[in-house]
Structure 1
């Protein structure tokens, strides 16, 4: 087995510091190293377990199975004690080698609400997005081209300009239906975020809503309305994607007001948009929470003072 994909690599992990603890989602994010000198972020998340299993948990990781590897991202399932049962105790995500950008992203942050006017998007945010090297989304490209996770794809529309594919998100353990989490990723790299959506994208967005609902009903028996479709702004990566999660998923990170925009609302806004001139997402001022470790934090916070002076 390839050394970097061998589940035993977790035995080489040396903790440097705890980046964040999330008691609501029963997760801890650790910064450390693998094989002594390779920087790595490890997110350990306790999977959903029935009460009858809780008494069997111990303090040691006895078994680890690799689920997937895509570029620098790896996913494992872990068991805290020797057991023949199929349900793991932990879902473990590894990013290695991690970068300073990853460390900042996963460090606990103080949130400040900011107002992004169309002018600020053009002067601050758009150049920030354009500066990202293609390597930052290489893992997305690998999924779209079928190089990785091809066996996980649940639906694909191959149209190069309006197509997309649907597959399980890395945050889901692939087992617990109450925390079902899928993602629809657009094939076109030209759509980077909510700001790039136009009336011409309505058929694609409606197709994502329709096919996403069909997939969760046919595969998991969830009826229409049982899942929530939303888009993040700011997103975690700048290649347009739609989150598809169980509507009953409580305590979901990333579904807070400001960051999450319901797909139904986005479609409705685009349908009511003008036919000529700047589009609605070019005209809107968007208000959202920005963490103090985000690359946009300093310039956006500095710009807020000027907005206050103008109001």
Structure 2
């Protein structure tokens, strides 16, 4: 395992930031760490990055014990924070060379590594331009490149796409996927739950200092009812008949929205349910404006688990 945390505890005065935090992340995967404000995400990442000592518990990162091998752990990890760490006056190449030198690489090796990373992150053509001329997505990719100077086994990403437009976010996502394909393990904290859905094979939800749920995105979504059948009618007067059909087919409680002329209910066999509802409505002469099957979103899962709509 790339990251193993067992019973981590951290207290600030009267506040228990971590209260028995457990986490296991397999090598070469992306783990999304989600939780509301004050849940303990930042504290957990700081401990796992050796920036903070826990009050209790233990952890291993890249096979090394945080308590006894902190210096060795730091040589195996990378950390990309919320704010860009690159110098806007310097070029992308100069920034990476500077980071290489700060990591004690020789001058020749730092220059070679900078060239390798610029090419890997699609920045080779812009490498000699000042960073102030880069787009938001380019700057964030340069940040990721800086975090990869020593080719870390584990990379911590804290809100990597905050403030980026959709195109720039996709650029960063592609860069993260490329890193993972090459064997890097990523621990991701993000306020965008669709980002965790896109990137993470495993998600751990933290609240009040401990993990309250974990699994793949699909496993977490299945916890709140699986697929949802939704249909929109042309006429409000057809709502009772449509609700009866959906209730009979789904065998579940039906939600009726009169203002939106909408009927919805959770279903187990998505294809069979859709087919049966369409056939039954046609037999009863109930016209439908729209019908669809929808999976729960991670936003809904998050709200169900934590009672909060904020994952920042």
The structure that has the greater radius of gyration is 2
State the TM-score, normalizing by the size of structure 1. 0.28
Structure having the higher helix fraction is: 2
